[in-house]
Amino acid sequence: MVPVLMLEAEPHHRVLDACAAPGMKTTQVLDMLHRASDMPKGFVMANDADGRRCSMLAHHSRRMRSPAFIITHHDATTLPAPPAEAPELPGFDRILCDVPCTGDGTMRKAPHLFRKWSPAGGFGLHPLQLRIALRAARLLRVGGTMCYSTCSLNPVENEAVVAALVAAAKGALQVVDVSKRLPELKRDAGLTKWKVMTPDLKLFESHSEAVAAGKTSVRPSFFPPSEEEATAMGLPHCLRLMPHLGDTGGFFVCILTKLKDLPEESEQDELAELPPAPAKKDARGAKRPAAAMEGQEDDEAAEIAAALVEAGAVVGSKSDLPKMIKDDPFFQLLGEEVAGGADTVKQICEFFHLSADFPAKQLFARNAMAQKIVMVSPSICHVLVSDVEREFKAINSGVRVFEKCNFMSAGRACQFRVMQEGVRLVAPYMQARKVQLTPADFAMALAEKSLAISKFEAAAAQSGLQDLSLGSVVLHCEEPVTGETLFAVAEKGHAHDEARFQTKEKVGFIQVFVEKDEALLLLQRIDPAHPALTSAKAPVAKTGEKA
């Protein structure tokens, strides 16, 4: 997507997606960070104020399978600053502010929005958008890049916000000329002049004109600065993606860079004009920005409040997390909070013969029981460990690498098994319980899921599996075309099953634990003509998903 491409994120960057749900842009940023490694130096923090949308992000995070990813649940206007990895590098390197908006640029694909559209939407959202952008600018490090974007074409939500942001920054922010980036992308320049339409569909060219007509809901920041000021601010460098230019939806993008620290809030008159955090409730019972409503005509106030609710930009009951989503803190397994965490790590390392350079300090759990263990990147580890005051409400982070096994537990030396979603992160350190298969045997294991060890054709695979004790095992083979190593987690067990294995003796068998869709994707890469693929349509790999 255009905003992410314009950000030009690198694998070492600390990236914030301030209003992340549903997560498509977040996924694209993660892909950019993972271009060179499964464990990038940077990370992506995906934040959203809406609890239900956080739940959607958490669902998507499972298929992203990135250790450099954390989901937080905060009002973007008060998001805490991340712990600095070094005193000279505070804040984020890249910030994406795809703010809540009226969405009028999406009417081609969502024509029902036209019936609900009103100028009141832009009036209500403008202060919130400016608050989010100002907070993001404060969290951006000096020299960093920030993208402000909407799927609206209303200048009150776009150029007006950028102009107010640049003015409030007092020289700390500069709009970047990105005309040379994506040269084939058809675009229009940002506006330097526009009129403001009030909810009763009347147009005004200046704030004084609107006030004279009794329009007290109109703010000075809705209107354009002088043409000279607009040009000096860099408004023409903004991008307007118009539907008729590229047969797309409408979109607005502005790239800014931070030249120096922003002045203190007390020094900024512009900030004093912004409404405080949402406090009052409208007729629907939803909270709305109190100061945005003060002094407005009742009908306009109600219309603006309704538009905010429609845009999902108010803090109401939706801010609460669904019951299945938790914001419990993450505890480092080698930390003091997890009783027996060090013993658990030792048991896992010994069972799988993990090499000495295995990053055990990057293992975390959500509770003292440590039933599910995730691995995070070093940068996320620093954020979680340094957040002593628990300022960040982390919803999800890391990749599940180990989980306590509550089945096939008899006779196991280790109660933890390797998880398929995290096997790529663990397998390189495993010096035991990792068995290489031929493509034919690997395909057979994926197709049958449960099979006797004696059924494998390669003698090396049979002997390697027979020699193992009961418990988790990682199967792997090289893809015939690219030579890439593919993995499948499994469990070795013993069973008496005369009907199945044609013998009364205890039989060693392998149970593969790979979800159906992923198993089909792996089969497709190993043997595109495999019979199992003819009876089940192989799914298309989703963005960010690794087989």
- Residue pLDDT, tens place only, 155-168: 999 999 999 999 99
Residue 343 domain flag = no
Supply the Cα-derived Rg of the chain in whole angstroms.
27
pLDDT along the chain (547 residues), means of 10: 93 95 89 91 93 81 87 92 76 96 91 87 93 96 97 97 96 96 94 94 94 91 96 97 93 97 66 42 40 48 61 51 69 87 94 96 89 94 87 90 80 90 96 96 94 93 93 94 94 64 64 94 92 70 50
Q: Residue 212: which residues within 8 A CB-CB, separation 6 or more? A: none
Residues 406, 343: Cα–Cα separation, whole Å:
19
Of 289, 319, 349, the position where a domain reaches its end is 319
Residues 353, 362: Cα–Cα separation, whole Å:
17
Residue 119 domain flag = yes
pLDDT of amino acid 87: 65
Same domain, 247 and 109: yes
Residue 370 domain flag = no
pLDDT of amino acid 302: 62
pLDDT of amino acid 296: 45
pLDDT of amino acid 339: 81
Residue 351 domain flag = no
Residue 313 domain flag = yes
> C-alpha dihedral over 39, 44, 48, 52, to 10 degrees?
-20
Q: Which of 19, 97, 151, 477 is catalytic?
A: 151
Domain containing residue 451? 433-547
pLDDT of amino acid 406: 76
Of 319, 346, 364, the position where a domain reaches its end is 319
Residue 439 domain flag = yes
CATH of the domain at 175: 3.40.50.150
pLDDT of amino acid 284: 37
pLDDT of amino acid 220: 95
Count how many domains the chain has. 2
Same domain, 175 and 305: yes
Coil/strand/helix, residue 108: coil
Q: Residue 328: which residues within 8 A CB-CB, separation 6 or more? A: 366, 367
The DSSP code for 327 is -
Residue 380 domain flag = no
Same domain, 228 and 104: yes
Of 319, 350, 376, the position where a domain reaches its end is 319
Residue 18 domain flag = yes
Same domain, 450 and 313: no
pTM of the shown model: 0.86
Tokens of 535: 């009876």
- Is 349 catalytic? The answer is no
pLDDT of amino acid 405: 85
